[in-house]
């Protein structure tokens, strides 16, 4: 270490000690640190201290007693060392409630100890505020406690900088940072959730409006993450605490109603327990049976979703049966159904098909004594442990997947998917949109043809399924079979469906898929592919547009020198030649304006004004997203066409007789250019055309039309039907043809149908 570095370290240490001394030397000047309204554990400007000293004495003994049940003496010694460091760092600080600030890290650590986190995580929990609040450098923690503890505390300190303002973009960015920190090391979010839980338990010292804001943030972000990680006890408590702070009056009313109803329902609960505890031993089943009351927020949500009053919510109480092994779960189910009449629509087997967060149990609802619906959950001890503590019940901090359980592997893959989405998504709001559906899933369970179970959010489609299998399968998906039957790609999958994806090596993602895919992974992969392809195609098309504009002044793109490009790029503010050309291809800039800029920047102009006619842009239909065909007139090869350069969407091609185009052309004439079809267009390339066909209303006419379309080598893409009169039916067809001659051949065949009345090509 150099002398200057050593002196700097000494100076920082002196200043650090001096700050602490200034807080404690003079009792009259003692100050307490305020709480950030968006992050109650973060510290802000000093505020007057309470007149009386803190009433509670903070003890480490309960924490050490808990840790001693699963940590060795060496780890306990390291934890005590971390406590001494944290206690010294927070000396003189108080929470807004008046308690010594060190009480907060200890309480957070007690929650982490209940999750049996390892020694490094326990130490990080004790130290989680020292970097952010006290300016202790990461290097100091690294030297004293090692790299793992230092990295965890550093990650938590970054999370504590989160400020959830009204700006949606700011919230999305903070959410993104938090999830990426979690993806790197799940212990970061486990400690952060413990931190948030203790803060939610101690919000009473804050004003109502701050409690409500923190409650909403917890309900929207932290509770769903706890649920996704399987931390069900924490998830339920965070929901109840959030509800209590967001709607305190509603919480109080429901709480009182639940307390009042306990006496009325005690007889139902007692008779149910008595019956079950008698029936199970008689069937040779050893089990622990106990009742449970649903959470206040759970009851409130059910009332809101089903529009029920409190009196109409019958299943406030449920029962949990914990047995020895898997087989006993199903034996218990049979015994219950023999004892009480089951509600057949209320049975779920989460043992055969676990939830996405690893939860396993049998759920059944029966009609108990007095005809009251009663829910039972049946599980083993191991299932119960995972159901309550989720991934934290047995998280192992190893890199080798062979050492992970199925629950841990599922979580690991989900965390990895967050990093994959981040790599393809630069925008925070878009990242938030992608992963929200994964945080709020109502899962369906489908099968591959090899009977592998795939878990997807409710509403997922075969496209989501394809991307869940592999990115390339999703990109090349052209069709899907559901339970052996060809089905549209937008079909919503149901639990139990067997899905088979049909692919083609020449296929690529369709932008329309974004309208119905549900998973963040599918949405991210589709957008990433389209952005990449759209950019390359837009650059190529923009170069053609610029070349056309330059020909008006007797120049071409090939003649432009590097100096010409540098001058224009400097004036336009674009970073590269490709960026400028892409803007031209996407319609964000006008080619004629850019060409004139080249002239103004020094390019010689030999063309007499008005003498050179603009050469039309030649298209083939294979340009991709840079060239789009209007949905109003559906131009096909052979039609007379022209193009509209729409901002951000490239070139939109219309027929010259399109009424919609004529109206737009009068408003923005400068954005219209001449376009013509390439001479030799591959006949295998198909284009949409709309036909309205009036037929006499006789049996089999639709089949006759379909036969003629097929015989003509065309393809029906969509068909609709209206009734003009009792005798005549109007059919609306969207048909794929290769060109105008192909369309004429098809129309000639259709006119030979005896029931044909009229055929009209639709151009709105």
- pLDDT tens by residue, 546-584: 887 787 777 778 888 888 888 888 766 777 888 888 877
- Between 341-350, 367-376, 455-464, the lowest mean confidence (pLDDT) is in 367-376
Residue 217 contacts residue 41 (beta carbons within 8 Å) = no
Across 35-58, average pLDDT: 41
Q: Whole-angstrom Cα distance, residue 545 to residue 539?
A: 10
Residue 494 contacts residue 442 (beta carbons within 8 Å) = no
Q: Would the pLDDT of 418 be above 80?
A: no
Q: Would the pLDDT of 450 be above 90?
A: no
Q: Whole-angstrom Cα distance, residue 272 to residue 284?
A: 19
Q: Would the pLDDT of 662 be above 80?
A: yes
Q: Whole-angstrom Cα distance, residue 549 to residue 367?
A: 79
pLDDT computed for residue 392 by the predictor: 58
pLDDT computed for residue 1 by the predictor: 43
Percent of the chain with pLDDT over 70: 74
Which pair of structure tokens corresponds to residue 286?
Answer: 């050893």
The structure tokens 């090349």 sit at 476
Which pair of structure tokens corresponds to residue 516?
Answer: 């119905």
Residue 226 contacts residue 195 (beta carbons within 8 Å) = no
- Between 20-29, 286-295, 495-504, the lowest mean confidence (pLDDT) is in 20-29
Instruction: List, in order, residues 6 or more apart from 315 with CB less than 8 Å away.
Output: 294, 365, 372, 373, 374, 375
- pLDDT tens by residue, 87-98: 888 888 888 877
pLDDT computed for residue 644 by the predictor: 84
pLDDT computed for residue 82 by the predictor: 92
Q: How far is CA 123 from the centre of its chain?
A: 32
Query: Model confidence at 12, in pLDDT bands (50, 70, 90)?
Result: very low
- pLDDT tens by residue, 700-755: 888 888 888 888 888 888 888 775 556 788 888 889 898 999 999 999 999 989 88
Helix, strand, coil content of the chain in percent (nearest 5): 50, 20, 30
Q: Which ranges of 552-620 does DSSP label H, i.e. alpha helix? A: 562-572, 577-585, 591-600
- Between 157-161, 537-541, 651-655, the lowest mean confidence (pLDDT) is in 157-161
Q: Whole-angstrom Cα distance, residue 511 to residue 513?
A: 5
Give the three-class secondary structure for 718.
Answer: strand
Residues designated catalytic = 132-133
Give the three-class secondary structure for 309.
Answer: coil
pLDDT computed for residue 391 by the predictor: 58
Query: Model confidence at 247, in pLDDT bands (50, 70, 90)?
Result: very high
Which has more pLDDT, 760 or 385?
A: 760
pLDDT computed for residue 427 by the predictor: 54
pLDDT computed for residue 423 by the predictor: 57
User: Tell me, which fold does domain 249-392 have in CATH?
Assistant: Beta Polymerase; domain 2 (3.30.460)
- Between 140-144, 547-551, 573-577, 599-603, the lowest mean confidence (pLDDT) is in 599-603
pLDDT computed for residue 590 by the predictor: 65
Query: Model confidence at 2, in pLDDT bands (50, 70, 90)?
Result: very low
Percent of the chain with pLDDT over 90: 15
Residue 393's Cβ-side half-sphere holds a number of Cα atoms within 13 Å equal to 25
Q: Would the pLDDT of 224 be above 70?
A: yes
pLDDT computed for residue 433 by the predictor: 56
Residue 755 contacts residue 624 (beta carbons within 8 Å) = no
Q: Whole-angstrom Cα distance, residue 714 to residue 602?
A: 53
Q: Whole-angstrom Cα distance, residue 55 to residue 493?
A: 59
Query: Model confidence at 399, in pLDDT bands (50, 70, 90)?
Result: very low
Q: Would the pLDDT of 596 be above 70?
A: no
Which has more pLDDT, 150 or 431?
A: 150
Q: Would the pLDDT of 244 be above 90?
A: yes
Q: Would the pLDDT of 587 be above 50?
A: yes
- pLDDT tens by residue, 664-690: 888 888 778 788 888 878 777 788 899
Q: To which H or E segment does residue 32 belong?
A: strand 31-36
Q: Whole-angstrom Cα distance, residue 287 to residue 408?
A: 28
Query: Model confidence at 608, in pLDDT bands (50, 70, 90)?
Result: very low
User: Tell me, which fold does domain 687-761 have in CATH?
Assistant: Alpha-Beta Plaits (3.30.70)
Mean pLDDT score of the chain: 77
- pLDDT tens by residue, 513-541: 887 888 878 888 887 787 777 777 778 88
Residue 625 contacts residue 511 (beta carbons within 8 Å) = yes
Residues in the chain: 764
Count of Cβ atoms closer than 10 Å to residue 618 Cβ: 12
Q: Would the pLDDT of 240 be above 80?
A: yes
pLDDT computed for residue 22 by the predictor: 37
- pLDDT tens by residue, 117-135: 889 999 999 998 888 777 7
CATH 2.60.40.1250 matches 31-248: no
- Between 143-152, 246-255, 404-413, the lowest mean confidence (pLDDT) is in 404-413
Q: Would the pLDDT of 694 be above 80?
A: yes
pLDDT computed for residue 299 by the predictor: 85
pLDDT computed for residue 96 by the predictor: 80
Locate the domains of the chain by residue range: 31-248, 249-392, 528-677, 687-761
- What is the chain's alpha carbon radius of gyration, rounded to the nearest angstrom? 34
């Amino acid at each position: 270490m150099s002398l200057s570095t050593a002196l700097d370290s000494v100076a920082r240490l002196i200043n650090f000690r001096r700050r602490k001394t200034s807080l404690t030397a003079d009792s009259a000047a003692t100050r307490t640190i305020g709480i950030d309204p968006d992050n109650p554990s973060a510290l802000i400007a000093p505020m007057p201290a309470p007149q009386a000293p803190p009433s509670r004495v903070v003890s480490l003994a309960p924490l050490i007693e808990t840790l001693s049940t699963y940590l060795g003496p060496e780890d306990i010694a390291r934890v005590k060392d971390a406590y001494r460091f944290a206690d010294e760092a927070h000396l003189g600080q108080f929470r807004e409630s008046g308690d010594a600030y060190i009480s907060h890290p200890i309480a957070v650590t007690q929650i982490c100890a209940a999750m049996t986190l390892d020694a490094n995580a326990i130490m990080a929990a004790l130290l989680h505020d020292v970097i952010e609040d006290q300016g202790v450098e990461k290097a100091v923690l690294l030297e004293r406690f090692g790299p793992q503890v230092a990295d965890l505390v550093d990650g938590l300190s970054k999370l504590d900088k989160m400020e959830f303002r009204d700006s949606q973009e700011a919230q999305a960015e903070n959410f993104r940072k938090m999830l990426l920190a979690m993806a790197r090391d799940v212990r970061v979010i486990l400690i952060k959730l413990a931190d948030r839980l203790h803060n939610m338990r101690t919000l009473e010292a804050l004003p109502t409006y701050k409690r409500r804001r923190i409650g909403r943030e917890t309900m929207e972000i932290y509770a769903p993450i706890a649920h996704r990680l399987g931390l069900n006890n924490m998830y339920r408590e965070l929901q109840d605490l959030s509800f209590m702070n967001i709607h305190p009056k509603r919480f109080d009313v429901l709480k009182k109603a639940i307390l009042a109803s306990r006496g009325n329902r005690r007889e139902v609960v007692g008779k149910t327990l008595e019956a079950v505890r008698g029936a199970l031993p008689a069937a040779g089943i050893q089990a622990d049976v106990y009742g449970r009351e649903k959470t206040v927020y759970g009851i409130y949500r059910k009332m809101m979703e089903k529009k029920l009053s409190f009196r109409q919510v019958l299943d406030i109480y449920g029962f949990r049966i914990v047995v020895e092994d898997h087989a006993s779960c199903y034996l218990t189910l049979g015994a219950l159904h023999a004892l009480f009449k089951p509600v057949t629509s209320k049975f779920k087997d989460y043992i055969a098909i676990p939830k996405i967060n690893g939860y396993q149990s049998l759920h059944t609802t029966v009609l108990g004594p007095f005809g009251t619906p009663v829910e039972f959950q049946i599980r083993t001890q191991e299932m119960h442990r995972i159901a309550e503590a989720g991934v934290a019940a047995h998280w192992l901090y190893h890199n080798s997947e062979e050492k992970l359980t199925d629950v841990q592997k599922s979580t690991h893959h989900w965390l990895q998917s967050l990093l994959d989405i981040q790599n393809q998504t630069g925008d925070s709001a878009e990242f938030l949109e992608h992963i929200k559906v994964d945080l709020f899933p109502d899962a369906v369970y489908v099968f591959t043809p090899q009977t592998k179970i795939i878990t997807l959010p409710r509403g997922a489609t075969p496209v989501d399924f394809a991307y869940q299998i592999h990115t390339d399968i999703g990109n090349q998906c052209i069709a899907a079979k559901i339970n052996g039957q060809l089905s549209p790609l937008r079909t919503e999958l149901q639990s139990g469906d067997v899905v088979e994806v049909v692919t083609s090596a020449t296929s690529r993602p369709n932008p329309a898929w974004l309208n119905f895919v549900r998973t963040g992974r599918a949405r991210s992969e589709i957008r990433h592919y389209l952005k990449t392809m759209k950019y390359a195609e837009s650059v190529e098309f923009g170069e053609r547009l610029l070349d056309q504009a330059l020909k008006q002044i007797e120049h071409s793109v090939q003649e432009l020198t590097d100096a010409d490009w540098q001058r224009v790029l400097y004036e336009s503010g674009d970073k590269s030649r490709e960026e400028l050309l892409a803007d031209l291809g996407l319609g964000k800039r006008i080619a004629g304006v850019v060409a004139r800029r080249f002239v103004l920047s020094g390019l010689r102009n030999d063309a007499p004004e008005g003498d050179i006619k603009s050469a039309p842009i030649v298209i083939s239909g294979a340009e991709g997203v840079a060239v789009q065909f209007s949905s109003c007139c559906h131009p096909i090869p052979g039609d007379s066409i022209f193009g509209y350069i729409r901002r951000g969407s490239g070139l939109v091609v219309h027929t010259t007789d399109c009424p919609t185009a004529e109206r737009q052309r009068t408003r923005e004439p400068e954005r219209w250019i001449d376009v013509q079809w390439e001479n030799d267009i591959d006949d295998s390339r198909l284009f949409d055309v709309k036909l309205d066909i009036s037929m006499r209303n006789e049996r089999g006419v639709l089949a006759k039309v379909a036969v003629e379309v097929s015989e003509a080598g065309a393809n029906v893409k969509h068909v609709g039907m209206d009734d003009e009169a009792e005798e005549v039916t109007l059919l609306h067809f969207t048909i794929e043809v290769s060109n105008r001659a192909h369309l004429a051949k098809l129309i000639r065949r259709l006119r030979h149908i005896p029931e044909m009345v009229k055929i009209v090509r639709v151009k709105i």
